[in-house]
Amino acid sequence: MFAELLRRMTAPAPDRMPDADARLALGALLVRLARADGDYSPTEQARIEAILSARYAVPDAAALRQQCEALEVEAPDTVRFTRAIKDAVDYDDRLGVISAMWQIVLADGSRDAAEDSIMRMVAPMLGVTDQDSNAARRRIEGAH
């Protein structure tokens, strides 16, 4: 279903993604993070929907989340997938994704080692500095 999108993302020199593709890719990364601890809870699903709705003003965030779930299953390993996003999405969008990812990590009230591991790996691969990632985490923690 997503073969063409994945082919374009993993090309040697990917073009910037159209908005519809970017939101699918970024949403799929959120799903991957939420699934990392083996407990893809309704709370995390609702948080993903809220993030997608707020970021992209979509009328049916549940349907978009379901598409992101399907893409996540088909997407390559996290390293290649994240690097593809980095090459195809602007920095401000990637920084927004890090903020959204911290919302997912903190959605259930606890930080899981698998989720922390993904955050430590993904932020630099997205080209987001540790300082920017930590600032985003502190903002999210302050909002809870």
pLDDT at residue number 89:
77
Burial of 144 (0-12, 13-18, 19+ CB in 10 A): exposed
Count the helices and strands in the chain (H runs, E runs): 8, 0
Q: Output the pTM of the full model.
A: 0.82
pLDDT at residue number 51:
92
Fold (topology level) of 16-143? TerB-like (1.10.3680)
Q: What is the mean pLDDT of residues 34-43?
A: 89
In the predicted model, is pLDDT for residue 10 greater than 70?
no
In the predicted model, is pLDDT for residue 53 greater than 90?
yes
Token pair of 18 as six digits: 């159209």
